Amino acid sequence: MTQQPTPAELAAAELKAVAESTERLLRTVADLTADQIAEPSGLPGWTRGHVLAHIARNADSLVNLLETARTGVPVPQYASEAAREEGIQQGAPRPPAEQLADLTASAERFAAAAAALPDEAWSAELTHRHGYTFPAHEVPGKRLGELEYHHVDLAVGYTAAHWPEFFATEQFAYLAERFAGQEGLPAVELVADDTEHRAVIGAGPEPLRVEGPLRALAAWLSGRSDGDGLQVHTPAGHLADPRTALPVLPPLG
C-alpha cells in the first residue's frame, strides 16, 4: 500500500514549484520598460502594473494566512476588500525597478513564512478572503496559481504553453471538475491529444468533442485562451474557425 504524503510533504513539493515559477516571473519583469508596465494586460481594466502589484500583494496576503497557521491567532488575508483594491491601485503606476523590488521582497517574505511553519501547522484550517476554509498545505498551490496565471496575463510572451506539465494537469482536472454537470453550459467532451486526460463538462446530450494539447485545454478552461490550438468536432462537420463552436464558460470568480 502506497503511503500518502503528509500535509508538510505536499506543501514542500508545491513550494519548490513556487520558487521556480517566481524566478521565471522575475526574469520577465526585469526586462519590462516603464511604457510596457503602463500598457494594458490580458485582464480587462488592468495595466501590467496592476497585475504586478496584485501578485506582490497576494504574496503578503498569503503570509498573513501562514502566520495564522503558525500561531493559531486569526489574521485576515486582507484587512478589507477596499484595502486590497487600494494596494493594487497604488502599486500599479510604479517604475520598473520598484515593481521588481516589491515582487522580489514579497516573494522572499512568503518563502520565509513558509519555512517558519512547523510540519504540524500545515494541517491548520484557514479562511480564504472569499469565506471558504481550506488546509494550510494548499497555500503554496494557491500561490503557484497566482504566479502562473498572472504571468500569462502580463501578455509579454509567456503563455500557457510554458506552464509546467504538472500545473497544467492539476488545473485541467480542477477546472473540469468545477464545470462538470453545470446547468446552462452545453456538454463538452475534452480530450488531451498529448496525454491520456479526458473529461466532460457541462450538461446535455451529444457533447461537443474538443481535442488539443493539455495546456491548451487548461488555458481555455481558465479563460486564458479563446480556444487557440483546439480542434472542435460538431455534428455540422468542418468549421472555418472551430473556436466559434466553443461555448462561453462561466467566470471563475
Domains and CATH numbers, the chain: 7-158 (1.20.120.450), 166-245 (3.30.1050.20)
The reported pLDDT for the residue numbered 234 is: 77
Confidence check: pLDDT of 236 > 80: no
Other CB atoms within 10 Å distance of the CB of residue 232: 19
- The one-letter amino acid code at 182 reads Q
The strand pair at 198-201 and 203-212 is best described as: unpaired
Instruction: Give pTM, 2 decimals.
Output: 0.94
Q: Model confidence over 63-99: pLDDT tens digits?
A: 999 999 999 999 999 999 999 999 999 999 999 999 9
Calpha distance 149→16 (Å, rounded): 17
Q: Contact, 242 vs 232, CB < 8 A?
A: yes
Confidence check: pLDDT of 1 > 70: no
Angle at 174 between CA 170 and CA 179, to 5 degrees: 150
Q: Model confidence over 126-149: pLDDT tens digits?
A: 999 999 999 999 999 999 999 999
Q: Any idea what DSSP says for residue 118?
A: -
Q: Model confidence over 36-58: pLDDT tens digits?
A: 999 999 999 999 999 999 999 99
Q: What is the three-class DSSP state of 3?
A: coil
